[in-house]
Amino acid sequence: MKIAIVGMGVAGGNTLRSLYEKNAVRPSDEIHVYEDRLTPGVGLPYQPDDDRLILNSFSMDVSLNPDDPDEYVKFLEEHYPGRFGRYEFTPRMIFGEYATQRFAPYLEKEEVQWIKKRVTRLTPILSDHHPDKLRFCVQVDQNRPGEIYDAVFLAVGHPPYADYYGLKGQPGYIHEPFPVSHLLEQIDPSKDRVGIVGSSLTALDVMEYLQESASFAYPLTFYTLHEPFATVKDTLYEGDEVFCTFDDAWIEAHRLPSGKIALDDVLAQFKKDLSDSQIHLDYIMEHFGTGSLYEVHQQLQQADEQLLKFQYYIALLSPHMTAIVNALDDRGRRHFFETYRPWYEYFHVQLSKVKMEKIWKGYLNGTIRFVREIVVIEPAKDKGVVIKTAHHRTYHADVLINATGFETRLSYAAAEDPLIHSLLEADLMMPSPQQDVAITWPGSQPLSRTYGVVDNLYLSGFWIGTTQYPNNNVQRAAQQGARMVDSFKKNNHR
């Protein structure tokens, strides 16, 4: 068979690795890996960049080897002796070195060829000899013929950055913030009024890099829609037992005659778990439920036992969320995404204490400020952008850095990404009810109006974020690489 893997980040790397580890490769196979980054395995987040960008998970939690949960810790002991402990957040770039070391040997395999190009187009091919068998033409240059493959793994990671204010291409607007070590080339700190739109983890990366790399004539300003933050990740919770009852057995026991589970049953169990664990949600919401700077300050002053306990509960719940969300009936699933998703993500995404301490310090000494409730950002007449708030205040930024995240709405993203555009145009994928890509689960194959379940096309990454939910961490990306290979093996009787 001729097989293509498009993208060589953590998901693509683990797809390649899993093909070998799960004995899915035959001597007659040809495997082509498409990736134009020069360092394999790192993708966007772990590429060579500033070492102040740190992982948001403890080093003990990010092993890429399911058989050895301590593999990354051992890598650190070997390559950076005495520098990082198990409960530390290491530079993302060092994790990238580990990922490269882990995946690069598979690129040397006899069947594998690494094509250092970006794929721009993927189209379906139906052969006269096998009218039922779909194959795929992969092109890196639209003016040249592509290669034909029997199976394609799309491990392309992240959609394009969102452009909610239509500023892309505008002078003074930096649409793509990474690598952050290039930002200062575009900014003159002694003159520019610099702003960051958004207050996500990306915004914190940008802030940290800029604040420590140069001294600014004007305060670095975060422009946000609401209160800027979530909760702070402090130390590991080590108190009384916390009960999280959700697992596969729980889901099986709660299936209705339809085979699905009811959101009401999930919510009732959630409340019971909290009560059994003596976690008081009302208290947590009252003290830490808005993401305000004041709440962050409270958390920095003293770790709150209830919050630590609840964050620990969320960490226990998270590995089961994909199974729960996919088992929900349609109404429950819709209701979950409309009503509970923002709330869940607020507690799921936790902010590093070290970073938040720096923000607080910057806020106190006037080098950082916050402008909330922005309603409009538009090009300024002379230079940069103008930001208007709901309170009729107007601000000016000479340079505005985009930290609003990725555009996961398929129809919008397709306009920016030629590969995705070609897939939509050829009807090899279609939007899910949440507007990302509809796939089978756990098969990971796109659904299409023309082809039904698209045979031998597999998808991972942010594009499937409401099916593999939540999938914004390295473990999930690696798992998805392995899961796509399981599906491939099953479909091809290997």
* Among residues 202, 211, 350, 448, the one that binds ligand FAD under rule CB under 6 A: 202
- C-beta nearest to ligand FAD: residue: 43
Among 17-25, 152-160, 333-341, 355-363, the segment contacting ligand FAD (CB under 6 A): 152-160
Residues in Cβ contact with 114 at an 8 Å cutoff, skipping those fewer than 6 apart: 8, 32, 33, 35, 40, 107
134, β-bridge pairs: 126
The residue assigned the tokens 């794929």 is 119
For 213, other C-beta atoms within 10 Å of its C-beta total 16
Q: Is residue 196 part of the contact set for ligand FAD (CB under 6 A)?
A: no
* Among residues 3, 4, 7, 351, the one that binds ligand FAD under rule CB under 6 A: 7
Q: Is residue 8 part of the contact set for ligand FAD (CB under 6 A)?
A: yes
Residue length of the chain: 494
Distances in Å between the alpha carbon of 482 and those of 89, 307, 470? 25, 34, 17
Q: Is residue 472 part of the contact set for ligand FAD (CB under 6 A)?
A: yes
CA atoms of 297 and 362, how far apart (whole Å): 12
CA atoms of 373 and 285, how far apart (whole Å): 21
Structure tokens at 409: 């709405």
Q: Which is nearer to ligand FAD, 55 or 296 (CB)?
A: 55
Q: Which is nearer to ligand FAD, 277 or 445 (CB)?
A: 445
Residues in Cβ contact with 162 at an 8 Å cutoff, skipping those fewer than 6 apart: 402, 404, 405, 406, 407, 412
Q: Which is nearer to ligand FAD, 56 or 277 (CB)?
A: 56
Q: How far is the CB of 3 from ligand FAD (least distance, A)?
A: 15
Distances in Å between the alpha carbon of 116 and those of 31, 122, 304? 14, 17, 49
Residue 126 φ/ψ, nearest 5 degrees: -110, 125
Among 3-11, 130-138, 336-344, 373-381, the segment contacting ligand FAD (CB under 6 A): 3-11
Q: Is residue 428 part of the contact set for ligand FAD (CB under 6 A)?
A: no
Structure tokens at 22: 């799960």
Q: How far is the CB of 483 from ligand FAD (least distance, A)?
A: 12
Q: Is residue 158 part of the contact set for ligand FAD (CB under 6 A)?
A: yes
Among 50-58, 274-282, 335-343, 350-358, the segment contacting ligand FAD (CB under 6 A): 50-58
* Among residues 308, 419, 437, 438, the one that binds ligand FAD under rule CB under 6 A: 419
Q: Is residue 244 part of the contact set for ligand FAD (CB under 6 A)?
A: no
Among 53-61, 292-300, 362-370, 391-399, the segment contacting ligand FAD (CB under 6 A): 53-61
Q: Which is nearer to ligand FAD, 210 or 419 (CB)?
A: 419
Q: Which run of H or E residues covers position 5?
A: strand 2-6
Q: How far is the CB of 265 from ligand FAD (least distance, A)?
A: 30
Q: Please give the residues from 369 up to 408 whose contact with ligand FAD meets the rule CB under 6 A.
A: none
The residue assigned the tokens 């200062």 is 184
* Helices 71-79 + 92-107 axis angle, to 10: 100
Sign, Cα dihedral of 324, 325, 329, 335: positive
Q: Is residue 354 part of the contact set for ligand FAD (CB under 6 A)?
A: no
Q: Which is nearer to ligand FAD, 8 or 308 (CB)?
A: 8
SS3 state of residue 123: strand
Q: Please give the residues from 298 up to 337 whose contact with ligand FAD meets the rule CB under 6 A.
A: none
Q: Which is nearer to ligand FAD, 154 or 387 (CB)?
A: 154
Q: Please give the residues from 21 up to 40 whose contact with ligand FAD meets the rule CB under 6 A.
A: 34-37
Q: Which is nearer to ligand FAD, 112 or 156 (CB)?
A: 156
Q: Is residue 477 part of the contact set for ligand FAD (CB under 6 A)?
A: yes
Q: Which is nearer to ligand FAD, 277 or 480 (CB)?
A: 480
Burial letters 409-447, b for 16+ CB under 10 A, else e = ebeebbeebbbbebbbebebbbebebebbbbbbbbbbbb
Q: Which is nearer to ligand FAD, 57 or 290 (CB)?
A: 57
Q: Which is nearer to ligand FAD, 260 or 355 (CB)?
A: 355
Sign, Cα dihedral of 196, 201, 202, 208: positive
Q: Is residue 139 part of the contact set for ligand FAD (CB under 6 A)?
A: no
Q: Is residue 118 part of the contact set for ligand FAD (CB under 6 A)?
A: yes
Q: Is residue 231 part of the contact set for ligand FAD (CB under 6 A)?
A: no
* Among residues 12, 91, 96, 384, the one that binds ligand FAD under rule CB under 6 A: 12
CA atoms of 458 and 465, how far apart (whole Å): 14
Q: Which run of H or E residues covers position 78?
A: helix 71-79
Q: Which is nearer to ligand FAD, 389 or 475 (CB)?
A: 475
DSSP string, 345-410: HHHHS-EEHHHHHHHHHHHHTTSEEEE--EEEEEE-SSSSEEEEETTS-EEEESEEEE-S-B---H
For 60, other C-beta atoms within 10 Å of its C-beta total 16
Q: How many residues bind ligand FAD (CB under 6 A)?
A: 33
Q: Which is nearer to ligand FAD, 80 or 364 (CB)?
A: 80
Q: Which is nearer to ligand FAD, 143 or 215 (CB)?
A: 143
- Residues within the interface to ligand FAD (CB under 6 A): 6-12, 34-37, 43-45, 55-57, 92, 118-119, 155-158, 178, 202, 419, 460-461, 472-474, 477
